[in-house]
Amino acid sequence: MTAATPSPSPEVLAAFEAAKGFMPVHEGLALYTAATEAGALGLPLLEVGTYCGRSTILLADTARTAGVSALTVDHHRGSEEQQPGWEYHDPTVVDPEVGLMDTLPTFRRTLHRAGLEEHVVALVGRSPQVAAVWAGPLGLVFIDGGHTDEHANGDYEGWAPHVAEGGLLVIHDVFPDPADGGQAPYRVYLRALASGAFTEVSVTDSLRVLRRTGSGV
């Protein structure tokens, strides 16, 4: 008899769906399953690319259940495609005083409404800088930050080394066909597989879940 696939409560799922962000529900459920499994390692779960906290809700809920912390890394000034004039720009998250995007207040409201603030550590800064001062192992690393090669590779190089043996590396927006989206996360996904350190666990549209089964990156 196979175990039931973990799923969030109706309240958590409703909070996820109500939050500002781009992850569809079916990919969110796949992330939730991965985070639930990784939480059993007793190590923190980390995402790169907070935006307004949509996926953070799912990681925080699984972290709460597992008794670990969810960590989320973002400078909260928006990635390239979220700047004015680009497809994913949202003028409601621009700070009128400084004229720059600031998703941090929206993120905090998202967690407050979901009742999950105490289970999340928000690391406000650029991913490579935060990774450079992080020393501990992680049960899960979810890469969902900037989509240029520079940023995607920086996230991978900074955080993949911290994935513990048996832990999970999750990569979002992996599009093998260039017609579907940018290729930087796809190239990072191929790099992880080619490293020999990670083995694919599941594919849910653009979400890839890999397990650390070897050393290195």
Separation between Cα atoms, residue 35 and residue 96, nearest integer Å: 36
Separation between Cα atoms, residue 158 and residue 152, nearest integer Å: 10
Contact 40/63 with Cβ under 8 angstroms? no
Q: Name the residue among 3, 61, 71, 4 with its Cα closest to residue 36.
A: 61
Q: Which of 119, 147, 151, 162 is catalytic?
A: 147
Separation between Cα atoms, residue 134 and residue 181, nearest integer Å: 31
> Checking DSSP bridges between strand 70-74 and strand 120-124, what pairing results, if any?
parallel
Mark whether 76 is an active-site residue.
Answer: no
Q: Name the residue among 113, 115, 145, 117 with its Cα closest to residue 129.
A: 145
Separation between Cα atoms, residue 92 and residue 108, nearest integer Å: 15
Contact 78/46 with Cβ under 8 angstroms? no
Q: What region does 53 belong to: left with phi over 0, alpha with psi -120 to 50, or beta?
A: left
Separation between Cα atoms, residue 51 and residue 102, nearest integer Å: 9
Catalytic residues: 147
